[in-house]
Amino acid sequence: MLKKYLVNMFNVIGIGIDVPTIDKMLLSGRYGNPKSDAFTLISEFSSSTVNFGGIPKIVSVLEAIKNAINNDGTIKEIKVNDITVDPTQVWNNIGYVKELANYYAFTHATDNSLSSHGPDGNSYYMVSQNNFAKDRLNEIVSDPTVF
């Protein structure tokens, strides 16, 4: 139940994640002993400032976004960690969000390619150099029906 709440919270603010990804993160050992009780692990996962800031870091970024909205609805500069960021790139340099994205990609990696499917159904690559071409070549070589 609490994991679903966390997933909904992240999804509402534009961070695609799901329960299997949270499960994989909790079992990684980065948030305490994986054999600990679920409440302890989720508490560490959501509130630890050691692993890239946790939810408190997300809240501080949301506060920066809120402060950037003028009374007339326009947006002024958004500053995160004293760096001005583009509104479309606000989550890109937040370590906690990168950690979530990496675990999502790891959890949802496809078996026969270097890509994983994102929450939106599109393919994303964990390593970017020529992976699309490598995936297509691997398909041609391994599946005679492709060509």
Q: What is the number of domains present in the chain?
A: 2
What does the pLDDT read at residue 19? 92
Q: Does one domain contain both 122 and 147? A: yes
The larger pLDDT score, comparing residue 30 to residue 135, is at 30
Tokens of 47: 């509130």
Single-letter residue type at 83: I
Q: Does one domain contain both 67 and 128? A: no
Q: For 78-82, 132-136, 142-146, which range has the lowest pLDDT when averaged over its residues?
A: 132-136
Residue range(s) defining the domain that contains residue 121: 113-147
Q: Does one domain contain both 64 and 129? A: no
Q: Does one domain contain both 68 and 124? A: no
Classify burial at 86, counting beta carbons within 10 Å of its beta carbon; exposed 0-12, middle 13-18, buried 19 or more: exposed
Residue positions counted in the chain: 147
SS3 call for 116: strand
Q: Does one domain contain both 117 and 53? A: no
pLDDT digits (tens, 9 = 90+) for 4-56: 988 898 888 888 889 999 898 888 888 888 888 888 888 888 777 666 777 88
Q: Does one domain contain both 36 and 80? A: yes
The larger pLDDT score, comparing residue 94 to residue 23, is at 23
Q: Does one domain contain both 131 and 91? A: no
- The residue out of 91, 107, 123 marking a domain boundary is 107
Q: Does one domain contain both 79 and 119? A: no
Mean pLDDT of the chain: 77
Above 80 in pLDDT, residue 122? no
Q: Does one domain contain both 67 and 99? A: yes
What does the pLDDT read at residue 83? 82
Q: Does one domain contain both 95 and 131? A: no
pTM of the model: 0.62
